[in-house]
Structure 1
């Protein structure tokens, strides 16, 4: 019966165009009456979403992104609005989406509804603007008093006089072209840059050196760094903690290779305290997935790494949501720098004064 009515109405409306318009208008009114009202968000406003949505894509809340926009706006804002120039908010969100996802540029462009060339220029502009702020957000030994930093490290495992933990991490890159391609092949046989970082007890980065190929050893990077020169000249009161692949120095304490009873207590406290730098690497790479592999040349890879370190500190200082940290990777690399005699003497004094069984 319903089919016959449909056929009848169809034939009637075809025969009478006026009646067809009336039927169409009534059908439209009925659809509007029973249809739920749709809410359209402004696609030009990347912040028109809840914080969960923003964090998933940009690793920052709406307030955090607005803070970055105010911080970077004077450096990246277009002078005119010609050719539909991107707003500061759009530029910051484009770069953050790339840092957070590590996706191909065309994938970021599809997500942000922009072409690949615009994405590339925007990421480069924002990256350099963030890198220019490295001296503001990354400073050794930090923005807090030395006594407070030492106390925070001491609370971890009772290791005294610590002002930082140092280590290196490898950032995978694509094989660079040129005569020095082999220099970037590391011990795990893939191309990378070897990045040195120092962190405090809150996993805030206080020093970063991103300029060395993956084949360069951690100890060599440390001895060529500015922080080594400052510490060796006694500019800071305190010591760094490094793993057993560094040479023991008066300002860089390492664990014992074959510990005795008191030395085992020292090694245990040393390992728990130094683990903060491993946690920092885990947080950094979990927050910015682009650092798992960068499909750019080594110079740009270094710039992106420093920019991510700055953003990591901003996120830590602003108490942004921390990502889940995967298990740390253990690099089995041989030590090539011997211990310093004065370094070994200071390490023995630490064992005698702080970790001897007679003190317990």
Structure 2
């Protein structure tokens, strides 16, 4: 008998939820008796809710204070958020439910955990509901609805936060952060960083929406190091144009500027060091590619403790002050790049290509 699984994801609030969904769907596809339907949760609320989802990139690029306020309000009164979302999505969710007839629901976005559980309770729908937490350390209370049958946590730190929010430990499964299989195909090579005879290849990126002080960082890298620089600006087309105007005339042969790309894993494999915001999805993809990274900033709220997490496990370095960036890189490259090589070794110990498979196996058992 075919098992129908409904995944509630998000296509526009960054690229992380979509990437997680794709990583899991790769593994679900290996099971002939499983049918998966993926829906953008924001689309269940019609145009108004979808516009809110699409505004994520604009807010996080230009109004971090507003994003902090949204985070704080959601943390203080999660039940209100659940009720508002519930009222907005009930009709379309019930239509979807009757069409798909799922045997299990998996939610990958915090806005659709408590809200959908509310709908299920009121309509006496009794099927398993599982949440996967798409953040590493700092999590919304919206992630931690103890009415879920299980909450899959990517880290021990996120599990501990769930317990603080009142979720029984027996409901939490720490299974890691799933990454698409193509990121694990990088060659097993320890780069020779200790010489400047060959230009280093730096990769500057900041998630699907392209945020951060990328212009200043680019000038520091290109003017102080023997390097080639690949820059990925994501969906931020205005930033791409600004960087092209600022950099191409002076550094034409050393810099390549991309918008949103589908082959980021190829750029990662070809790079020596990446510079990125503390986006969990980007960080985990870099680790899968065994690419040392320097975290240059983090969004308030869900990302703010990710730099400390990176340092705790020595799977990257942190430099949030661009004036100290040159010194940070010099320290990593000194003594035949011993610190960079240690980071690569720690990444290998941390990384596990079976995470997505293990998560899917657990869900199917449920």
Compute the TM-score of the two structures, normalised by the length of structure 1.
0.26
| Richer in strand (by share) | 2
Bigger Rg over Cα: 1
